[in-house]
Amino acid sequence: MTTDASDPLADAAAQAHAATTAALAAPIPSLDGVTWPAVHLAAVERAVYPAVLRLLPAARYRVRMQMAVDHRLQHALWELDRRLTGDMSSLSASLDGLTVRLRRLVDEHAAGEAALLTELRQVLDGDEQKALADELAALMVRAPTRPHPHTPHVRMTDALTFAVESWVDRIRDQLDSRIIPTPRPHRVARPVGRWGAYLTGQSFPAPPAAPSPAAPRSIIGRSLPSR
């Protein structure tokens, strides 16, 4: 999907679509083709679809149709994740057939999303579009990194589900040493303390030496004040 440089909403979606398409087009698909769309779908559901429900006509039906496509995409991503990570029950599945199905679903999702974004741009001014694009980008930083097709979607608990799935996914990513290509939260590095330096074999600077006491000043050779 091509975008205009002044189109923040389309730009926010284009990065995920382009990264997903590139990962799935590789001779051997990588887990980037799972992570990018999983993160994007979770963020879109929290940012874009609520805006559509508030602002566009026949919104409930259109969001339901779009989420049906997304759900099929989540299922296919889940299958690809299991296939690429060596799940024995998935090894018999055709990798070529799975990636072909995924590319078709990604294109179907992107087309539906582009139509919704086009209509949103007609009812939002520039500042509102920028705010929605910023919200989408911020959610992508915190979104779950794996597909969750079996999680029920209940509007009143969506925020909690989003947070819990993200927390669990990032723990699993660390345990699996999985490289996450999507934007990550910016963390300020903390200085290593004495025990941290000891445990990691790093040198820890010695504390500065205490200043030596000042020597008493001699009064020899000085004239005393007259009484």
Which pLDDT band holds residue 187 (cuts at 50, 70, 90)?
low
pTM score of the predicted model: 0.76
Tokens representing 151 are 């999680």
Instruction: Tell me what the pLDDT averaged over the chain comes to.
Output: 83
Q: Look at residue 152 and tell me if it is in a domain.
A: yes
- Quick one: average pLDDT of 78-92? 83
Q: Look at residue 160 and tell me if it is in a domain.
A: yes
Q: What is the pLDDT of residues 135-156, one digit of tens each?
A: 999 999 999 999 999 988 777 6
Q: Look at residue 95 and tell me if it is in a domain.
A: yes
Amino acid letter at 165?
E
- pLDDT at position 199, please? 62
- pLDDT at position 2, please? 42
Q: Is it the case that residue 170 has pLDDT exceeding 60? A: yes
CA–CA separation, 98 and 80 (whole Å)? 7
Which range scores top for mean pLDDT: 14-28, 60-74, 204-218?
60-74
- pLDDT at position 86, please? 82
Tokens representing 87 are 């799940």
Q: Look at residue 212 and tell me if it is in a domain.
A: no
Residue from 150, 145, 148 nearest 172 by CA = 145
The more confident residue out of 188 and 122 is 122
Of the listed ranges 10-14, 62-66, 154-158, the least confidently predicted one is: 154-158
Which pLDDT band holds residue 166 (cuts at 50, 70, 90)?
very high
Q: Which domain holds residue 127?
A: 8-175
| Those residues with Cβ within 8 angstroms of residue 21's Cβ, 6 or more apart along the chain or in another chain | 103, 106
- Quick one: average pLDDT of 160-176? 94
Q: Look at residue 35 and tell me if it is in a domain.
A: yes
Which pLDDT band holds residue 191 (cuts at 50, 70, 90)?
low
Q: Look at residue 57 and tell me if it is in a domain.
A: yes
Q: Look at residue 220 and tell me if it is in a domain.
A: no
Which pLDDT band holds residue 172 (cuts at 50, 70, 90)?
very high
Express as a percent the part of the chain with pLDDT over 70: 76
Q: Look at residue 216 and tell me if it is in a domain.
A: no
Tokens representing 35 are 């992570």
- pLDDT at position 31, please? 92
Q: How many domains does the chain have?
A: 1
